[in-house]
Structure formats: C-alpha cells, structure tokens
Structure 1
Amino acid sequence: MLRINGDPAITGARWTPEQVLSMAPDAASRTAGAGLSTAGPWSGAGSDGAGAVWGLCKGSGSRPYRTVVDLTGPAFSCSCPSRKFPCKHAVGLLLLWSRDTAAVGPSDVPDWAQEWLTARRGRAAAGPRPRRRPARAPRHRPSGRSSSRPCRRRNGPAGSPSSSPPTGCRRPSSCSASARCRGPGPWAAPSSTPWTSPGTPAAIRGASAA
C-alpha cells in the first residue's frame, strides 16, 4: 500500500511521537500502532539519514510484513493487507524510530526497501502525467454528394427585377446539366421574337408575332 499525503516532511531530525500519531488515519490505528512501537515484533529495522525508515514486523503469518516509510513525502508502503494509510505497522515503526535510536539506527537500505524507494522517488521527480484529450473522429461525408446546392429559379416575368439566375448556382452555365434548369429561363435576355410554349394556339402566336 502507498500514500503520499503532501504533508511537509521533517527529515533533519527524528519526529516526535505526537507528530507520528497525528498522521494516523483514526483512533484505532493510533492504538494498534502504539502496541507495535516496541522492539519486540521488529527485526532488521533501520534508517539511512536521508528520509527512509524500514523494518520487518512479525505478524500472524509465516512471513513478516515489510514496512518502509519515505519521510520526504511522506509516503508509506507495507506488505500487510490493510487499506489504511498509514497502517498500524507504519505507525508502530515510526513510533519506535522516534523513541528508540538504538532500535532503529543508521544502516544500509535493504534491497526490498531500496526498490520501492527508487520507484517512488522517480515518479515524484517526474511529476504528474498530463492528461491526453481524446482525438476527434473526422466527419464522414457520403460519397457522391455534391457540395453545390440545387438550382432554383425565381418566379417572375422575363426582364422584371425579380427575374434572376437560379439561386445556388455559381454561374448560369452550371444549370445546363440540371434537368430542372433546362430550357430558356426567365433570366435570359429578351429576343425580337417572343418565346411561346409549344401548346400555344396559332392565333395567339400570330398575334404575338404581329
């Protein structure tokens, strides 16, 4: 288990028991930690003078619990199954370290403690990882879809102000390919002979021609 709570570390001198107990998560951890603050259950305890304290605490199992504290965090690690931070073993080890210099004296850091210390301090030096924003998927456009709008003709007599090329057309010639724009439109220039539809009676066509 591991926790870095961001409290200012005191590495130049040994902590007082009050400082150690103030870091316990609850009253039960303080009581249980005080019961482990004697040299009896501990073996291989030591400190390096650079902020590391470690020790092996005898538990109910065949293997002792490996407990290590980094005072520069402070941060705690223990092989016990407890989910409290710090656990009773870390509290007991720090209480023993704060009261008994001989029980937790200067020593070489064991490999199991050094491995955790190196990894933890490396992560702390690297800082928090920046969050990556999820990449946006490109918008899909159906194939064959024309980007130009359909041609629309405005109603109105030829030559009137409302008569203009179809809206949406970039140029008049673009309407020649559209079935809706076939034939002379109302925007065409007036000619000498008025245009009449094929269904216009001959009498009317003759009158128009006259």
Structure 2
Amino acid sequence: MARHFNGNNVRPYSLILTLVFAFLLFDATSNAQKIVKVEEICNQTKIVAYCSNLLNSIPGGAARADVDSLAHYTIEVLRSKLKNTVNLLNSLIAKATDPKAKELYNFCLKEFTGQDGALAEIDPMQKSLKAKDYNDVSFHLNDLVADNDECMSYGQDQSSTSSHHFTTDFKDPSPLPQFTDDIFKFSSIVPVISRDSVVEMVMAIPREEEIDRDRLVIP
C-alpha cells in the first residue's frame, strides 16, 4: 500500500507532482487557457518522438489543449496505464509457475488494486483537481506514485541506482518491465512541462506582487 516518501526514497514518479502543481498555479493566475506547445516541450527531452506521440494523443489534438485540460488528461492517462497493468498482472498470476514471479505479480496487484492502492487514488484526485484543492491532489498523487514505486522496486537489489529495472536475481520474462519502463519514460516528460509552465506563470504575475522564487524551483 502507499507509503509516503522520505528524502532518500523519491523516485522519478514524484515529478508528476510538479506537473499538477504547475497546472494549479496557472489556473490561479488565469492562465488555465494557455495552449500547450508540443515542439517546445518535447525538444527539451531525450525522447522527442515518445513525448510528441504522448502529448499529441490528447483528444482534439495538443494544438487545442490548454493547461487545465492537460492536467485532467494526464491523470486519465495514469488511470489507463494502471488498468492495463492490472489486467496484465491478473493474466500473469493465472499463468505463473515461477514462485518468484508469482510473488512479484501478487504484490504489485495488491499495490494497484487494494483499498488504498494506486487506482483508488484516481477519482479523489480528479475531484480535488476540479475543486482546485492542491493539497488534496498532492496527497492522493503522492500515494499513487508510492504504490507504483513499491511494485517496481519489489525484490530488487537495494544497491541498484536504476529503480525501473529488474535485477539479474530475477529476470522477469513478462511484459511487466516494459509497462513500468513506459511509465518511467512518461514521467521524464513531466519536469519539462512543469519547468516551462512555472516560468511563464511567474512572468504573468504583476511585479508589485512579491514572490519567493526559490520556492518555485523544480526538482
């Protein structure tokens, strides 16, 4: 189940928090209608094609997507990815003969579908986002991210510096590593969107309104 992070355990998924944070900052400064510029965002990543495909998959096209709609869409992408992974896990559990594999799949399934699992965070997150309650959004998103991370790191060598890969101790032959790597790539796009969003948000604030810019640094 979800575990809150400490400073030494933050995984790349926590960067999703910065995306929602940027969306809410935009909305608070009347910039929710800012149009997403896919090329400017994706050219700053190391996975330009993947990034473009993701952002251009927004219904209606990214050229017409504002910040607010992208925020809700991003959460729905997470829902879809989680559901697909749950379906995969159920299939893997039914067919697994390796005890290590079955243990991993059952653990991940619990992380995603438990009463406090990742999927249970989606609806409250969307509701909180609609209500512009950032504190509640971050709470639910943090728990969702933690559940994903627990699944990805289960049974791994704790000395590994790459949390999204399985160790040689257990080479998972299933598509699960590919699914988690896909989410890892998705999360690498988030800081770029967030950085651009926060910079433009700050520029939109009247100069007479003092702001502590150090508190807007994106990890």
The answer to whether the superposition gives a TM-score over 0.5 is no
User: TM bucket by the smaller chain?
Assistant: under 0.3
Between structure 1 and structure 2, the one with the greater Rg is: 1
Higher RCO, 1 or 2 (CA under 8 Å, sep at least 6)?
2
Which structure shows the bigger proportion of residues in helix conformation?
2
TM-score w.r.t. length of structure 2 = 0.21
TM-score w.r.t. length of structure 1 = 0.22
Which structure shows the bigger proportion of residues in strand conformation?
1
